[in-house]
Amino acid sequence: MDINRCIGCRSCEVACKRVHEGKGHMNVHFSGDHASVPVFCHHCEDATCTMACFSGALYKDGEKTAFALDKCTGCGLCRLACPFGVVWTNKLAHKCDLCAGRDIPACVQTCPANALTTDYDKTLKRARSRAVLAAAHGGRR
């Protein structure tokens, strides 16, 4: 995600809810009038939610943090363990599944500002370039 591109339109939320039958797995958070940030699962390498999940409902599947709804007991430990606050519980847990079965996640496909992408390397290069420019200008852009 590139938070500098996010325009706060919430198209990603709508697309996620549409694909997941009304239960969205992401939210856009707003910081006053200055910034909007899409918030969703980071699919962490060492995912603490999977370590907290005693039933095995959350598990690593390659680079993806996967979720097996049929194993979820609804205990909420995963929600407490997630450092980003992106595992939600409403009796049973739910989180971003990268739109399993689709080539491109619905949120990425829908974003009109191209704030969401599947090209991690390109996004990382852009972020590093901005950091270098900001440092060269005394922290200002």
- Please state the domain extents for the chain: 11-136
Q: What is the pLDDT of residue 24?
A: 81
Amino acid at 105: P
At 80 the pLDDT is 92
At residue 59, the pLDDT reads 93
Report the C-alpha gap between 7 and 92 in whole angstroms.
31
Question: Which candidate, 128, 129, 104, 103, places its Cα nearest to that of 114?
Answer: 104
Taking a C-beta distance cutoff of 8 angstroms, is the pair 62, 96 a contact?
no
CATH architecture entry for 11-136:
2-Layer Sandwich (3.30)
**pLDDT digit string (tens) for the chain, length 141 residues:** 777 888 889 999 999 999 988 888 888 888 777 778 788 888 888 999 999 999 999 999 988 899 898 999 989 899 899 988 888 777 777 788 888 888 899 999 999 998 888 876 766 676 667 667 767 776 555
